[in-house]
Structure 1
């Protein structure tokens, strides 16, 4: 427990508090209940959280990255942001192909539902 806390203290030195607060607020108000978090695998281990991958693509858009490789580099250099997305930073982050496969398989209907839910949340605020 103390080791993990020290890791976060060290990581926070490299990422601005303003950026941490920005993504914390976004992810706190993001309703991903329509998107299944884990997709069971018949042949191998369960993959990464679908919610974490989705949040990572929100980071990609907010940071205006054009390529998945830029996102991957950003998350590797800002592990606190990767943690806020929902990744276990003590394990390797997803590879380029994991991100690419996720975005190709993500149904447009999920995006529409998530956007609709977000609009409803904003109406309540």
Structure 2
């Protein structure tokens, strides 16, 4: 877990524990009606905070769109080997991709023999009657 996430988790747990202790103290030393009103307000604030965090997380997430047409190959990640065409022979093992992070959120390939990937591509063999 990243350090800032661990810190945020500890702070959130501390705030929630403090709020629960305050509600218990209000219920014991004041009255149950005041604790009920305070709990309602705190619940509404917590709900709005949760909504804000959800919207923030959705806005920061990347959606990947992958589209391949007419005999093309498209991948949302890394590709070790792509072989397209007729009568191709591949004797060697596929190349190992470098695993760099995806560079784009949209990957499109159209047309026979075309290839597109959001990550690394180790090897592409296109055409007819190739040997590798």
TM-score bucket (shorter structure): under 0.3
Structure with greater proportional strand content: 2
The answer to which structure, 1 or 2, has the higher relative contact order (CA under 8 A, 6+ apart) is: 1
Name the TM-score, length of structure 2 as normaliser. 0.23
Name the TM-score, length of structure 1 as normaliser. 0.24
Structure with greater proportional helix content: 1
Larger radius of gyration: 2
